Structure 1
Amino acid sequence: MDDKIMWVANQQYHLQENLEQVGHLLHNFTMEQVNRVGRFHRSYEKFEMTPLHNLDTLASFVGVRNIFVKDESYRFGLNAFKVLGGIYAIGQYVAKILGKNIDELSFEELKSSEVKDQLGDLTFISTTDGNHGRGVAWAARELGFKARIYMPEGSAAERLQNIKNEGAYAEITTMNYDDTVRYTAKLAKNNGWVILQDTMWEGYEEIPLWIMQGYTTLVKEAVDQLEKPPTHVFLQAGVGSFAGAVVAYLTQCYAQEITFVLVEPYAANCFYESFKQGAPHYVTVGGDMQTIMAGLACGEPNPVAWEILKTYTKIGICCHETVAATGMRVLGNAIGTDPRIIAGESGAAPFGCFYELMTNEHYTELRDGALKIDEYSRVLFFNTEGDTDAENYRNIMWHGKYAK
């Protein structure tokens, strides 16, 4: 099929009125704030920076100057980046209860018996496709709290078990992601539990913002690892919190304009549909949203992320399952001296889109016209997860599932 990807130019891109309105949101992602987040993360004794891979051979093969992949499959031994947001949000929540600034608390201090005595028993509850929930469960266990994790219908059994292995109660519901979020919010309210979600709604804004800020540690690392700024950044979007945090920080780091491209699955393409509509307000999509890109199966944007992304994203893309699978196979089968990268379905989707538009003449207009990708382009990706569903990873990599 030729339409493996569909794309739309964002009509809100760089509109002056949006640039003026979004300024106050960027204050949440300043260098000072990002450094604060990083200090907290680094207070964990086993903290390590994740690698930024340089795929020089592949860059030459497809005709660009550089391809960089920030590989979050190494983060905290949890095979995904999500823990950065969850643990920072828990830290901020605890600091607020104690009446302290998070700069006064280290990860190890949060584990102390003194803190536990002041807080008593806390239960954190969340909806997840797997990665966020595992991160919340890990953080809660590490700090001596409880976690309850609920997953949408169709979630992988392995991801469920990984969460249970972290000591949390976990189950798969019969609802899609957004309905499961509403269900967990109701449970939290009725039971006095603390909901940790990176999506946002009226009356629930503080914790999602903390989660977004938590993601910036990996972006700051990437900036520190790059010698020159990227010209293009391809980003995956579920509710948009990760992508929004990346864009918010990078736009303040570099004086030059960066071309941001947002990638979603066909089945859950709320940003694509919102860009297509061209209005200043987002639209939502519903249904079961079944896709191998489970981490992106969300139908309603985070409002803060939407304001940032509608202002700075140039192109919105939604893609077929085969595109993500191709991205996994290309990254996992390195050429020349390039390193092999184990990327899960959601982690590989942006790269799969890039590879498709660079190798399929059907997308010449997008590549050469709208995006202006050429031999001078430096393209950055974030592999947000490794093989978090090992069985499906093997089926794709070994047996050619989703090849056509």
Structure 2
Amino acid sequence: MMLLNQRPEHDQPLVAADAAALGIAGADHAEHYLKVRDSHAETPLQALPALAGELGVGSLHVKDEGKRLGLGSFKALGGAYVVMRLVLEEAGKRLGRTVDVGEIGDPAVRAIAAQMTFCCATDGNHGRSVAQGASLVGARSVVYVHSGVSRERVAAIARYGAEMVRVEGGYDHSVREAARVAAERGWTVVSDTSWPGYERIPGLVMQGYTVIVREVLTRLHEPPTHVFLQAGVGGFAAAIAGHLAIVLGAERPKVVVVEPARAACIYATAEAGRPVKIPHEQPTVMAMLECHEPSLVAWRVLARVGDAFMTVDEEDAVAVMNRLARPAGNDPAIVSGESGGAGLAGLIRAAGDMGTRAALGLGASSRVLIINSEGATDPGRYSELVSIAPQDVLLQTA
């Protein structure tokens, strides 16, 4: 399914708060924090000319976030950044001066961090980022996971010292439970989704993601004409689309938001013209995108700079994982987790339908950007779906 954005706010400027969070100064701030990380390195931008030719587009580039900060996901840029920033803000209040990120290891700062507890709900990747951020600054973290989060993903979070709490139901249930307990105990919720009265922290999480755009634009000779962005609650898609709109202005690319058909809360919201919660029915293999209620901040951005909304099926996601692991021609092999290639799945589906191609303006001169949002964050599940271990896929490009 594909739906063009016909909202009255479409193509209007971002509201002031969102423009501030996702603008150039915000990206500068996020990058400043990133540079103090020992594991910081720019992630690869790969050209896939063989696949571009098959799809009838001029060029196709994939930004591979599977190598980001040792966490295997773009989420590494969000939760950890916010935890570090909130600790330094609290330290500044208590010490009566500005505290820079370079002082993150200072004993006085760490003593303050040790008194702080950060809490979140996660499908897997965001919780790992929050837990890693807390471990970096010496704070405590408590991470809520729902019944669908695999043991392997839970273990990957727990190794950063997080206290893990399992919640019955889906992602939205874990979000509500984390917020409830945090309010009772005075913890700080670091969520990648927003609700009425809770917007600043999700905005900062999104701000962290803008670093991806900055890296991409320094590597491309020409900006993309089309970007296909996967969405769960919508924060990732909104951050990328919002920053592109601010930096490129009228030359911004056409943004297509892609979701699993089984968890398409952004599509349903676009269709209804207002944020809606959809029923939790069948689980999707795209576990990191299994969200049933949009982030209010994310929707506010996407209503303005999202040009189309579409869904993909389970087999589309698995086919992309396999296609990237076994590329054609001289295209590089890429390890993409179950959710990581959903944007590419959307492009493949759009390129194969003449009506959709025409509606989106896809053609031989199109320059398409895809972001592989995660690698094999659950290696066992990856091997099951692709029939190759992720490390063996990477040997093909070594």
TM-score (structure 1 length as normaliser)? 0.90
Q: Offset of 1:99 from its aligned partner?
A: 2.8
Distance 2:290 2:43 in 1: 25
Cα distance, 1:21–1:60 mapped onto 2, change above 3 Å: closer
Q: Which residue of 1 aligns with 2:160?
A: 166
1:335 aligns with 2:325: no
Q: Aligned to 1:99, what secondary structure does the other structure show?
A: helix
1:7 aligns with 2:2: yes
Q: Which residue of 2 aligns with 1:41?
A: 34
Q: Aligned to 2:251, what secondary structure does the other structure show?
A: coil
Q: Which residue of 2 aligns with 1:366?
A: 356
Question: What runs of 5+ residues in structure 1 fail to find an aligned partner?
Answer: 1-5, 400-404
Distance 1:29 1:317 in 2: 24
Contact 2:114–2:138 (Cα < 8 Å) also in 1: no
TM-score (structure 2 length as normaliser)? 0.92
1:299 aligns with 2:284: no
For residues 293-318 of structure 1, the C-alpha deviation after alignment (integer angstroms, 9 at most, x for no partner) is 11111111111111110111121111
Distance 1:293 1:345 in 2: 5
Q: Which residue of 2 aligns with 1:114?
A: 108
For residues 176-222 of structure 1, the C-alpha deviation after alignment (integer angstroms, 9 at most, x for no partner) is 11111000001111122111101112222221111111111112111
Q: Aligned to 1:347, what secondary structure does the other structure show?
A: coil
Amino acid at match of 1:382: I
For residues 252-271 of structure 1, the C-alpha deviation after alignment (integer angstroms, 9 at most, x for no partner) is 22141411000111121111
After superposition, residues 4-403 of structure 1 pair within 5 angstroms as: 6-12=1-7, 15=10, 19-20=12-13, 22=15, 24-99=17-92, 104-106=99-101, 108-254=102-248, 255-277=250-272, 279=273, 281-288=274-281, 290-358=283-351, 360=352, 363-367=353-357, 369-398=358-387
Distance 1:13 1:387 in 2: 39
Q: Offset of 1:146 from its aligned partner?
A: 1.5
Q: Offset of 1:102 from its aligned partner?
A: 11
Cα distance, 1:123–1:289 mapped onto 2, change above 3 Å: farther
Q: Offset of 1:386 from its aligned partner?
A: 0.5
Cα distance, 1:31–1:317 mapped onto 2, change above 3 Å: same
Q: Aligned to 2:15, what secondary structure does the other structure show?
A: helix
Q: Aligned to 2:331, what secondary structure does the other structure show?
A: coil
Contact 1:289–1:297 (Cα < 8 Å) also in 2: no
Distance 2:315 2:118 in 1: 36
Distance 2:118 2:25 in 1: 28
Contact 2:10–2:303 (Cα < 8 Å) also in 1: no
Q: Offset of 1:349 from its aligned partner?
A: 0.9
For residues 224-255 of structure 1, the C-alpha deviation after alignment (integer angstroms, 9 at most, x for no partner) is 11111100000011111111111111012214
Distance 2:191 2:201 in 1: 7
Distance 1:120 1:398 in 2: 44
Distance 1:171 1:154 in 2: 13
Contact 2:88–2:109 (Cα < 8 Å) also in 1: no
Distance 2:289 2:98 in 1: 32
Distance 1:212 1:102 in 2: 27
Contact 2:91–2:99 (Cα < 8 Å) also in 1: no
Distance 1:72 1:134 in 2: 15
Amino acid at match of 2:328: I
Amino acid at match of 1:274: T
Q: Offset of 1:23 from its aligned partner?
A: 5.1
Contact 2:14–2:301 (Cα < 8 Å) also in 1: no
Q: Offset of 1:42 from its aligned partner?
A: 0.8
For residues 13-59 of structure 1, the C-alpha deviation after alignment (integer angstroms, 9 at most, x for no partner) is 7646xx15635522322212211210111121331110111111221
Cα distance, 1:299–1:206 mapped onto 2, change above 3 Å: same
